[in-house]
Amino acid sequence: MPGVPVGRAVHVRVPASSANLGPGFDSVGLALGVWDDCVVTTTDEPGVVVEVHGEGEGAVPLGADHLVVRTLSAAWGELGFAPPAGVRLVCHNAVPHGRGMGSSATAIVTGIIAAQGLCGFTAIDRTAVCDLASRLEGHPDNASASVFGGLTVSWSDDPGAPGATHTARPPIHPQLDVVVFVPSVQLSTAKARSVLPAQVRLADAAANSARVGLLVHALTSDPSLLLPATRDWLHQEARRRSYAESMDLVDRLRAQGHAAVISGAGPSVLVLTTRQAQPQVKAGGDGWRRLAPGIPDHGATLQPVGRTPAGHRTDKPSRHD
């Protein structure tokens, strides 16, 4: 088994994402223009060194338990490479943690892409990244949007069975825009999923499937239908008690005619709107941070970084799209 070369460094940049968008549970994702940056360097000094700046600083592990580091190991195993003696990470994070904006997906995608780059890939194998990220996270919606950018619809060949994840990228309407209201409180995806029912009524499943079709149409062709297209029967009401303030904001915004939904597992609230209407989406109030991040039309990026004799790099990564 070949070893990962020592002294290489790569810069990976990954966008945030919102999943579900109402009825598209575990299948529909949308990239958001909030980015995590990470420089990963292989060294001949044994051990793991992690620096985190911005979101997650002082709250995430700074060693082998860091999610990017764990993902690096998994990805190198998939690629058939033995890990190097040492790894150094310098992370500058802007994606809020535990807010339903795909922070775990950005970390997983970062690790897989960095592993490819450090093994000599000159271009990202996005299909392989999306497939492994979906397997590691358990669902493809956030990861696919972070990998490809824009709007993504993902599926597997057989639910519950091992197999590749497939992703389509419908072109979004040119006027589509988003607003995200981010609360100060966090909610783990595991906790949000723990309250979901194991079964749903056939009538609810049928209603939800109709709205998923309408959702894709509204996002790609007719934003005037975004409000009815974002009605959900599968997960938001079941989780209402887990994020009561978020659902109250969703209710208020929808009563005003805005297509508001819970972003991913919450508790952030996403509003799908148009560029003209975006400034009018102002409800939120104290305790909510309003973001208008836009929707990037591309996903994660990979750049090689100049080799360093000692295999270390501590400067802030360059900003690029």
Whether residue 320 lies inside any domain: the answer is no
How far is residue 150 from each of residues 65, 73, 140, 216, 299, measured CA to CA in Å? 31, 28, 14, 13, 7
316 domain residue, yes or no: no
φ, ψ of residue 112 in degrees (nearest 5)? -70, -45
* Same domain for 136 and 13: yes
Same domain, 93 and 219: no
**20 and 124 inside one domain:** yes
Region 267-284 average pLDDT: 93
| Pair (224, 270) in one structural domain | yes
How many domains are there within the chain? 2
Does 287 reside within a domain? Answer: yes
Residues 234 and 195 in one domain: yes
Give me the CATH number covering residue 261.
3.30.70.890
Do 30 and 133 lie in one domain? The reply is yes
Quick one: pLDDT at residue 163? 66
17, burial (CB in 10 Å: exposed 0-12, middle 13-18, buried 19+): buried
pLDDT higher than threshold 90 for residue 293: yes
Encoded amino acid at 68, one letter: V
Tell me which of 61 and 260 has the higher pLDDT. 260
The answer to whether residues 41 and 58 belong to one domain is yes
Model confidence over 61-112: pLDDT tens digits? 899 999 999 999 999 999 999 999 999 999 999 999 999 999 999 999 999 9
Task: Count CA atoms within 13 Å of residue 110 on its CB side.
Answer: 30
The widest CA-to-CA distance across the chain, in whole angstroms, is: 64
Does residue 135 sit in the same domain as residue 253?
A: no
Same domain, yes or no, for 116 and 209?
A: no
Classify residue 321: in a domain, yes or no: no
What confidence tens digit (pLDDT) does each residue in 132-191 have? 999 998 889 999 999 999 999 999 887 665 568 899 999 999 999 999 999 988 877 676
- The verdict on residue 159 lying in a domain is yes
- The verdict on residue 61 lying in a domain is yes
Q: What is the CATH number of the domain that holds 94?
A: 3.30.230.10
According to DSSP, the β-strands at 86-93 and 47-54 are: parallel
Q: Are residues 155 and 218 in the same domain?
A: no
**Are both 154 and 64 inside the same structural domain?**
yes
Please state, in angstroms and rounded to a whole number, the distance separating the CA atoms of residues 243 and 100: 11
Say what the pLDDT of residue 317 is: 46
Quote the mean pLDDT of the chain: 90
Contact 257, 241 (CB under 8 A): no
SS (H, E, C) 208-239: HHHHHHHHHHHHHCCHHHHHHHCCCCCCCHHH
Nearest to 30 by CA among 143, 182, 172, 152: 152
- Do the bridges between strand 86-93 and strand 269-274 make them parallel or antiparallel, or are there none, so unpaired? unpaired
* Same domain for 193 and 150: no
- Residue range 108-126: mean pLDDT, rounded: 96
Contact 38, 116 (CB under 8 A): no
User: Domain of 192?
Assistant: 176-291
The model's pTM is 0.91
